[in-house]
Homo-oligomer: A and B are copies of this chain.
Amino acid sequence: MRIHDLTTPALLVEAEALEHNLATMAEALPGPRLRPHMKAHKCTNLARRQVAHGHRRFTCATVREVEGLASAGLGEDLLLANEVLDCSRLGRLDARVTVAVDSIETIEAAARGGVPEVLIDVNVGLPRCGCAPDAAGALADRARAAGLEVRGVMGYEGHLMIVDDRVKQAEGVAQAMELLSAAHAQVGGEVISAGGTGSYDLNQLATEIQAGSYALMDTAYRGLGLPFRMATSLLATVVSASAAYAVADCGLKALGMDHGNPEIEGARVWFCSDEHVTFAAERAPAVGDRVRVWPAHIDPTVAYHETLHVVDGETVIESWPIDLRGW
């Protein structure tokens, strides 16, 4: 199949760039040093490619991601790096499942739901989930008293993923990891899980890095100068054109918009509406032309699409279902 035959908007990943990204990360963080994050692509076929590169343990953000990997036979070691109050679906899986806890309630939910292993989630500076670092030891005791195995700690320095100055970023990551290290000293266990694509090469503490976006990439991460290539774009059709601007059929229902507008090469994007992007191009496109639209935030972009088409130039090699969307 040729990409020209795809219905637009279509989510494309360049096979060579994807392979480059997977290989580059696997060389930097081989085997269990990386726990790829499913939230960035929600695609079982892509997870299999990560397994082929030596990464057999996965990070998930939703119960459905855990369920999907388990039923695909990729359940060797799955971490739900998120707090959940209903663990009943997790406890039924034929997989090794570990869940993050940061409160008595989430500990009780894990025990009640039959999830035997937990990580104590520690707040390392991002105001989101995670207990205060000095509360981690008491929570670990509580978890063990509830019959749970405490494998260690996690602490996501998400507020430090995209920082322009890499020296300042490294300092920030080091400070965040001092908090996690202090918590780990109270908690014990073999696992210190942290990090992401923006800090995969800066985080000196974590035993495993939870990066996900490195595989597909987006314009926000591109700005960091990491060795990962822009692999993923939306193929769109120019459906209307005037002297001043053109309109393509890739709108905000095909794009995560929380990081702002997408980019179009050789053009200035004016705005997105539900099904359209309006842009001014250096060379005015004709109605019917195809353009590539580069998303600003890959994770929510992927979640809008049913299919990820793996392409080599103009040829569609494979079409992978984005099968782990929803909750």
User: Which of A43-51, A128-136, A220-228 is the contact stretch?
Assistant: A128-136
Identify A327's interface contact among B8, B245, B247, CB under 8 A: B8
On chain A, the number of residues with a Cβ less than 8 Å from chain B's Cβ atoms is 56
Identify A273's interface contact among B7, B158, B247, CB under 8 A: B158
Give the CA-CA distance A241 to B327 in the complex, in Å.
21
Give the CA-CA distance A61 to B326 in the complex, in Å.
23
Q: A270 — nearest CB in chain B belongs to which residue?
A: B127
Tally of this chain's copies = 2
Kindly provide the distance from the CB of A260 to the nearest chain B CB, expressed in whole angstroms: 10
A7 B327 Cβ-Cβ under 8 A? yes
By a CB distance below 8 angstroms, the chain B residues around A249 are 82, 84
B82 A287 Cβ-Cβ under 8 A? no
A77 interface residue per 8 A CB criterion: no
B306 A129 Cβ-Cβ under 8 A? no
Interface of A is mostly: loop
A128 B257 Cβ-Cβ under 8 A? no
By a CB distance below 8 angstroms, the chain B residues around A102 are 240
Give the CA-CA distance A132 to B245 in the complex, in Å.
13
| CB within 8 Å for A252 and B300 given contacts A9-B327, A127-B244 | yes
Q: Which residues in chain A, 263-297, are within 8 Å of chain B measured between CB atoms?
A: 270, 272-276, 278, 286-288
By a CB distance below 8 angstroms, the chain B residues around A155 are none
A278 B239 Cβ-Cβ under 8 A? no
By a CB distance below 8 angstroms, the chain B residues around A84 are 239, 249
A105 interface residue per 8 A CB criterion: yes
A239 B39 Cβ-Cβ under 8 A? no
B253 A299 Cβ-Cβ under 8 A? yes
Give the CA-CA distance A9 to B82 in the complex, in Å.
14
A288 B240 Cβ-Cβ under 8 A? no
